[in-house]
A and B are shown apart, each in its own frame.
Chain A
Amino acid sequence: MPAIKKPMLKVIILGDSGVGKTSLMNQYVNKKFSASYKATIGADFLTKEVLVDDRLVTMQLWDTAGQERFQSLGVAFYRGADCCVLVYDVNNAKSFDTLDSWRDEFLIQASPRDPDSFPFVVLGNKIDVEEGKRQISQKRAMTFCQAKGGIPYFETSAKEAINVEQAFEVIARNALAQEESEEFSGDFQDPINIHLENESSGCGC
């Protein structure tokens, strides 16, 4: 069997500022948690090679800045994404409320072929914070994910490395599935018509 070219999976991480996007990515890729509180500039990506069902794939994780101003930069970053990870902070109701708009924003900017089947994953981060501060219950998040077409949902803690590995495994799997479906449908794209014959008349020599 001929070796298939190693797929590159582009994963976009979105969510309000301060919910822990960078921390999640760092925890997954570098197995590190930094307590420093740093706002991300623009966007940044890390890559990681993972085995998905015995296939080696490269995950390109795009970490975005949650700042409003950077949202308009989305188009460039979102294009060609295979999976979109929506992160919110379980202790911050507002960050959960905006998930929907982040999702819409992504669908508009990235304009995937089939918006309904495009894989999203929702992560409720910071579950290590004491229970009393929690504002979004697991049930409420699950209901939201169900309503949006059964989005997989994980409760994570980048700090304590809870569920991070599992979540990204699902992300990788979904991204791979998406990538393959894109490749498949890609064969039917219209070839670019160069119109060589018509234009040849323009040359006088």
Chain B
Amino acid sequence: MTTKDTAKDAFQRLRTRVEPRLANLQDRIAPLSQQLQQQLPNLTRSGPVGVQAGVHSIPLPPSRNSREGRRSVEEQRPGSAGSITRSKEGGNEKRVSAGDSKSGGDGAGDNTGDTDGKRDKTDRAPLLPLRPITRATALSWSPSLHTLASKILFRSGQCPISRGPLLILNAAAFPDATDIDYNLLLPYVLANLPSDAELEGAEGYSVVMFAGGGSAAVGSGGSVAGRPSWAWTLQAYHLLGRAVRKKIRRLWVVHEKAWVRVLFEMMAGVVSGKFRKKVVHVATLSDLAKQLTIQHLLIPPSAYIHNRKLEPAIILPTFPPPPVFGRPPFPTPRFGDPHPLPDVLTDATAYLRTPASLSTEGLFRIPASQTYLDILRDAYDRRQAVRWEDWGPHSAAAVIKLYYRLLPVPIIPTEFYEQLPDGSSEEEDRRRAWRLLKETLPVESRVLLLRHLIPLLALVAEKEEVNKMSAGNLAVCVAGGLVRGEDVRRDAEAGEGVRRLVELAVREVEELRPRLPLRREVEGGEGMKRKPGPVPAAASVDPVVRVKKEDTDPAKEVEKAEDAARRPSLPVSPSPVVVISQSQPAPPPPPPPAPVVVQQDQIPPSPTTTASVSPGTMSRRPSLQPPRHPPQLKRKTSVPALPVTIAPDPNHPGTFVRPQLRRVASANLEVKKREERRGSFPGVETLRPVGLRRGSAASGGGLGSLPERGDGEGSVGGGANGAVEKGIRRVRSAGVRELSLLYEERARSIKALETMKKP
């Protein structure tokens, strides 16, 4: 049966089933046929059949061949790290070298010529000439469409039934049909589906569809008019691979709306009666929680907001975990790290550290939406995975502020008000501040301040020209949340001292670094990630903290580290805090590694600069800011990487120097200072070496590690794991660009075929 017959059949069956609604449907279907009519002349006009430079030819019939074609794309992936394979339908294949595609903009035009040169002559399928791929069309890969599509359909861990991928389809993210050409959007959305190849091994996959929300979304949500046309839906279905069609195990539809019901009636008509059985309609998120572990789902904001209208709170079928907010920060000391930063802090911070977030004007000053804040608080109290890109940097900052404000013991307890810097003189202020931060404050406060808040604020303050948040500004915005005594008035007075304390600490964060109470010199995850060569087994495998007890003063330490950094032969972290020195007994054993992540923007604009970009860095790129295509290639090749190895620290036998990239050229002090400060930031993925390692594997192996994304663990955690996910998604997007062109062409060819068959 041809696709046309299927479609026709579908309409027939639909007619009998949803007769009452059909009248209104008809005018939606009409545009499809109209569109086809219009395209027919174009297609026949578009030149002679055959291959010629610049003409994209697509073999027909598409159904079988294209599936194979697509599979071959997938199969190519593992071996094609750093290069993108474009597979022509019917077996034509070509490779785009990394260099070509990396050049982004202008590279695409050349690719077409390339294609023809390497064309496989064994192609016997009939060719249908389609519109020539001009520079403009080839370049039409649109980051904004990609972003849009990744909000409509995205992965969220593992299907509880089949162990295959679990996808989320967010109906509220469908843009207004008047704003966006749905036909252009389609390939981007489809590209987020699992490939046939991936599904071949798997038992199947499932989809959770959030049908509600939309207009109610705060900020940039969907719109009332936002919904796909019927023609589009049908077309989308026809473009699905066989495995994608057949292997769906369950489709949960949450917050159903009338139009969704109609859509499913229609789909059931097109697909089969079996499909209908796979669809489960669920009224609320609490109901959904009875069917699968919703804590692993990256539920979009619109769905939460819609859900709040339906039920006051999300109730889990299992006994709820103790809340995160308003609880002691370090309730259960774990092996290896007595003070793991709470997930809410690491997640939000990981997102805030992306360059796009850091350049948000008024970060930590502009308040977040209270609704978002409530939802996020509930979410973390529930241990819910959160995709921070959906919520925005202001929400992340607000969640961090809220967390600090709600701590059962405030960061600066009342009894320390007297010891706060009083502004009498600068030296006195500094002395008081340092004493508090290094000695007197409760250990929880010091850990949180020194390992999280201060370095994070320092990172924000560094971008002051862009985000306008100076150390002083940040201190004003944050200080209020660090005191919470009985007497509001006293708190307000103390607030001034806290403000001075925070401002000073943020400003002179470097001075605090040698004494950061908790540090670890070797990081399994980060070290692995960075290093292309072999690693000393101890460094990579053993995550156990190595403490070096010694009585040195911080200045000496700095000296040592700087000394080490100066050694040209040894790539060494410029950070002086390579080795932990625990000269004082108060702070408990050292913390997890403080990962040094080299941000792209941190590399000074010197032409001689050399830096390798760690995959972790890439994965932390903001996904709201659409990646330049293809993202990772560009970075990798733009600056040659120095080989980095983990080397034993010459100064401290038995310990290892954290590998970090050294710039070859002049290390002027200013730059170094900056790097140190960044390097010192210990916020985030410290606790997730596994995730980091995965990230490195994924990015290092290029497209090869894609199937791993189905793995539930990777997507659950948010934070580092989320970042890894993102990274992979981004790597994928490079391939997607190629793929989407194919999809687009294919859609046209199908249409053309149908139209030609009509008369």
Contact = CB atoms under 8 A, between A and B. Distances in A.
Contact of A17 (B219, B362, B499): B362
A196 B385 CA distance: 68
B480 A69 contact: yes
Contacts of A17: 362, 365-367, 477
Given A17-B366, A94-B367, A37 B468 contact: yes
Contact of B481 (A16, A66, A69, A94): A69
A98 interface: yes
Contacts of B496: 41
Point out which of A40, A67, A101 has the most chain B C-beta atoms below 10 A from its C-beta: A67
Nearest to B484: A69
B480 A70 contact: yes
A18 interface: yes
B481 A98 contact: no
B366 A67 contact: no
B461 to A, nearest CB: 12
A40 B350 CA distance: 28
Given A69-B480, A98-B370, A39 B365 contact: yes
A18 B495 CA distance: 20
A69 B494 CA distance: 13
A98 B369 CA distance: 8
B108 interface: no
A42 B369 CA distance: 21
A68 B367 contact: yes
Contacts of A73: 488, 492
B480 A94 contact: no
B233 to A, nearest CB: 31
A72 interface: yes
Interface residues of B, number: 27
Contact of A93 (B219, B469, B473): B219
A38 B472 CA distance: 8
A67 B398 CA distance: 10
A68 B481 CA distance: 9
B239 to A, nearest CB: 35
A93 B217 CA distance: 12
Interface string B464-478: 000011001100110
B296 interface: no
Interface in A38-67: 38-42, 65-67
A67 B480 contact: yes
Contacts of B469: 37
Interface in A85-126: 92-94, 97-98, 101
A93 B370 CA distance: 13
Contacts of A41: 476, 495-496, 499
Nearest to A37: B468
B327 to A, nearest CB: 20
A39 B467 CA distance: 13
A14 to B, nearest CB: 13
Interface residues of A, number: 24
Contacts of B401: 68
B476 A66 contact: no
Given A39-B365, A41-B499, A72-B488, A67 B477 contact: yes
Interface in B423-482: 468-469, 472-473, 476-477, 480-481
Contacts of B492: 42, 73
Nearest to B483: A69
B180 interface: no
Contacts of B468: 37
A38 B499 CA distance: 14
Contact of B473 (A16, A39, A70, A97): A39
Interface string B360-389: 011001111110000000000000000000
Nearest to B476: A39
B292 interface: no
B422 to A, nearest CB: 16
Interface in B182-216: none
A103 to B, nearest CB: 15
B664 interface: no
Nearest to B402: A68
B671 interface: no
Interface string B399-414: 0010001000000000
Contacts of A76: 489
A67 B362 CA distance: 12
Nearest to A38: B473
Contacts of A39: 365, 473, 476-477
B218 interface: yes
A42 B489 CA distance: 11
A42 B495 contact: yes
Contacts of A98: 367, 370
Contacts of A72: 488
A92 B489 CA distance: 32
A180 B480 CA distance: 37
Contacts of B365: 17-18, 39, 66-67
B161 to A, nearest CB: 40
Contacts of A37: 361-362, 468-469, 473
A73 B487 CA distance: 11
A69 B405 contact: yes
Chain A CB count within 10 A is highest, among B367, B398, B481, for B367
A16 B480 contact: no
A42 B492 CA distance: 8
B218 A67 contact: no
Contacts of A65: 476
B482 to A, nearest CB: 9
A66 B367 contact: yes
A199 B499 CA distance: 50
Contacts of A70: 480
A67 to B, nearest CB: 6
Nearest to B394: A94
Contact of A94 (B361, B369, B476): B369
A108 to B, nearest CB: 16
Interface string A157-174: 000000000000000000
Nearest to A39: B476
Contacts of B218: 94, 97
A67 B480 CA distance: 8
Nearest to B472: A38
A70 B366 CA distance: 14
B366 A16 contact: yes
Interface of A: 16-18, 37-42, 65-70, 72-73, 76, 92-94, 97-98, 101
24 contacts: A17-B362, A17-B477, A18-B366, A37-B473, A38-B472, A39-B365, A39-B477, A41-B476, A41-B499, A42-B495, A66-B365, A67-B367, A67-B476, A68-B367, A68-B401, A68-B405, A72-B488, A76-B489, A94-B218, A94-B219, A94-B367, A94-B369, A97-B218, A98-B370
Interface of B: 218-219, 361-362, 365-370, 398, 401, 405, 468-469, 472-473, 476-477, 480-481, 488-489, 492, 495-496, 499
Give me the 3 closest cross-chain CB pairs, A-B, nearest first: A69-B480, A37-B468, A39-B476
Given A16-B367, A41-B476, 20 more contacts: A16-B366, A17-B365, A17-B367, A18-B366, A37-B361, A38-B472, A39-B477, A41-B499, A67-B367, A67-B480, A68-B367, A68-B398, A68-B401, A68-B405, A69-B480, A70-B480, A94-B218, A94-B368, A97-B369, A101-B370
